[in-house]
Homo-oligomer: A and B are copies of this chain.
Amino acid sequence: MSKRFDRRKFIKTSILGSIGVSALGKDILAESSQVQGKTVVSKPKQKKQYEKDTPKLRVGFIGVGLRGRSSLGLVLRRGDCIVPCVADPEPKAIASTMKMFDDAGQIKPVAYQNGDYDYLNMLDKEKLDAVIISSPWTWHSRQSIAAMNRGLYTGCEVSGAFSLEQCWQLVNTHESTGSHFFFLENVCYRRDVMAVLNMVRNNVFGELIHLECGYQHDLRDVKFNDGKTVYSRGSEFGEKAVSEAKWRTIHSLNRNGDLYPTHGVGPVMNYIDINRGNRFVYLVSMSTKARGLHEYLKGIDPNHPNAQLEWKLGDVVTTLIHCNNGEKVLVSHDTSLPRPYSLGFRVQGTKGLWMDINGSVHIEGVSEPHRWDKQQSWFEKYDHPLWKRYENDAAGAGHGGMDWFLINAFVESAKKNEAPPIDVYDAATMLSITALSEKSIAMGSAPMTFPDFTNGRWISKKPNFGLSDLY
């Protein structure tokens, strides 16, 4: 009987609310005893190790589009993983993936490409320790839940939730199975973002007061292409388009809210210990009119049917989040207008502030009064130990190297089967911003309260992101 069936049987026979044991087993009970409180009955005497025949972490991939293949490339560079299988309904994605294995001189994976649900066959048939999910947004949570239900250490790409119920389902699945969920928010590992975390923890800014962040990225050539080439200039989206435009753009057509909050909010959550001594309490969102995508399409071909569409997503959505410890977080979403890229970070405390848009820091008593310092000298001084150690390993990895740290953290955490630094509660919190933002806008910017996805455990949970130079 395969490992998977053992695990599934165990989960099925466990009473609801008790602990599921993952295939890796290693540290799951330690974490789960925290998760489940006093429901742990006994600890297994022998900790299970990785498969006897191979010490490598067996990582499956669901979704091998551009993003999935970028993560896959980082996993293939490592010596401690093998990728026995991938799932994607898109033949071109599978073909590009197979080429990557060829180029890397590695054994080709089994490809599950027989329609949208073939990933379930992969999860049922393959022996896996972990899975990385990089599919379109509407697939994230159902695939994550399927993977957690099979005891896998589950990594999932970022997005925004469609409902609060969806967030709860992720949390509840983690709690009932004991399977870990790692939310793959890569910007948490950006070098400047981690240097600022180091500054925060060294009290450079004093007590934090006000934070800003967002996703300000002109995505017009991501949302549309000519149906043949990615990042080409064109009017197509949906079925007639290629790559992200195939699935991402319909959200701009149909929804109004902060659809993509995590790249800004993830780092900020680490700065102010959200879910670890602090929490988001309520938010308000306000949207502008929607003009950018319409103007863009008119400029390409005013007679194209898509140039006649009315878009629901306001061009700039602003969200204000009130935190339990009295901080405020301002989150921007701005993806439909011409503009240079900026995540718009601002970290402001009683002693001073950092802003990334002007690349500057001001710290009272150190900087000239009422003057900015260039950020670079501060970043060099407070470079995070993790970056200092692995700078060379990360060189050339996606998004300025930060993806290397993300995948490294995922793999190292999965090998130990330990609670991820960005866990299911963080995921639920970040994801819920989208659903709450849509609600707030629909109700004329009315305040919307965050659920406490930790059911009170945020009060005593301790920070575990970026604490060492390991991962």
Contact = CB atoms under 8 A, between A and B. Distances in A.
Interface string A302-341: 0000000000001110101010011110100010011111
Contact of A352 (B209, B289, B339): B339
Interface residues of A, number: 51
A357 interface: yes
Interface in A188-225: 206-207, 209-210, 218
A287 interface: yes
Contact of A287 (B328, B349, B446): B328
A68 interface: no
A364 B340 CA distance: 10
A338 B348 CA distance: 9
Copies in the complex: 2
Given A340-B362, A370-B340, A355 B357 contact: yes
Contact of A318 (B325, B330, B359): B330
B316 A318 contact: no
Contact of A351 (B218, B338, B348): B338
A288 B210 contact: yes
Contact of A337 (B341, B350, B359): B350
A169 B327 CA distance: 36
Contacts of A341: 370
A289 B447 CA distance: 18
A209 B348 contact: no
Interface of A: 206-207, 209-210, 218, 282, 284, 286-289, 291-292, 295, 314-316, 318, 320, 322, 325-328, 330, 334, 337-341, 348-353, 355, 357-359, 362-364, 370-372, 444-447
Given A282-B445, A314-B328, A338-B351, 12 more contacts: A209-B288, A209-B316, A210-B334, A218-B370, A282-B444, A289-B326, A334-B348, A338-B364, A339-B352, A340-B362, A340-B371, A446-B447
